[in-house]
Structure 1
Amino acid sequence: MSNGSLYTHIQNNIATVEFFHPASNSFPSDLLQRLATTFNELSENNNVHVIILKSEKEGAFCAGASFDELVAISNLEQGKQFFLGFANVINAMRNCSKLIIGRVQGKAVGGGVGLAAACDYCLATEQASIKLSELSIGIGPFVIAPAVERKMGVAAFSELTLDATSWKTAYWAKEKGLFATVFQTIDELDKEVENLAINLASYNPNALIEIKKILWGNTENWDELLVKRAEISGTLVLSEFTKKALQKFKK
């Protein structure tokens, strides 16, 4: 459990993918790799018509990538591979033939916002505030930017990115298109996620596959684009500015 966990449960043509990490549901590299592999496998599973993505506990939805691994980066290749973690997950979600419902019960930071944006339909609670804090430590949300821009628009992405120390409320995120609906309680959220998944799973699976293709039209270049973005972040994380910022943040 110290390295996190990832479980997949399939019932009635609905796959529920649930992740956990004791550090606010953040992702070490190996857990990101497992998540990407899971989406790739579910994409080919004919018994699955729709996927629910969720995290455990009632706290944060996802605090992004592992801070300990970020601090430990010492060369460009390590930096590139670190930032490829979320790039590979986002591309796996994009290429997955099954629609993905995001269940966001709490705060999302950095890569966690990218995960929510890469879902095809996202539901949240009032506690699901979001923040892109990357600029404040000398890097930027380059890898997740295409997913966030696609879902929320450039203006909202700019506001999130440039105001890197401020939280935006779940209702702000709904207004900008990240969340479809915001609920007061987790129980209400879970009920609606279940109802939506049951409805989608009852539809013609071939129609669902075709609508997924349309939803992700004009993103075919992301396989190459996100690799380039990972290289940018991998370079910046080695800068003296970022190293000092990370040490200050760690203390």
Structure 2
Amino acid sequence: MSDSAASVDYRKITLDGLWHNNPALVQLLGLCPLLAVTGTVTNALGLGLATLLVLLGSSFSVSLIRNHVPASVRLPAFVMIIASFVTCAELLMQAFTYELYLILGIFIPLIVTNCAILGRADAFASKHSPLAALIDALMVGLGFALVLILLGALRELFGQGTLFSGMDLLFGPLAANWQITFFTDFQVLILMLPPGAFFGMGLIIAGKNLLDNHLKERQKPQIITSDKTSRRVRVTN
């Protein structure tokens, strides 16, 4: 099955991946690593980049072989492709960001089980051209990574009063001074604990739903009603 360039709505793909069908905010997929490692922006960004790399590689590869894989072995083939790219991401992190790799721990290999990645491979990449699959993977990966970073920033800011702490684990000594300290005497420690991830995620989802409802209300056509004033005429004989 193939698609022509005219049949692919890239604007819809972009909006769906980033907002309308965001895997974390709407589909609620991949919540286990999202809630587990978002204690800081650094952790969230590291996992987000790894997930994005796996999404791009697996979606592109699935699209390339979509016409050559029998339906009976389609899902096992997709899982093997995803596992291969997760291994690549894991080896890259071991080579260049080893300390961050140790912090993220088991959640890097668990990208294989992320339903958002397998879902995009099966629902989109296996039915569209490599270019469309790449753009879809990019938007879905960015949407997922942005939610990770937003949740990490929320928990780090109110949980320990800083932002971008430990960025040198990801970008090396160049980022050693990137940490911003906002306050040290007010900390909501529960945000740094596992329950805090649920609270933060709930606030983010609630904020998205409120914004969506507000935009829907603004888009409703305004019905202007004009009241006709009736005049009473008194007739005297």
| Same fold, TM-score > 0.5, yes or no | no
Question: Who wins on radius of gyration, i.e. which is larger?
Answer: 2
Whose helix proportion is higher, 1 or 2?
2
Where relative contact order (Cα < 8 A, 6+ residues apart) is larger, the structure is 2
Whose strand proportion is higher, 1 or 2?
1
What TM-score, normalized by structure 1, do the two folds share?
A: 0.23
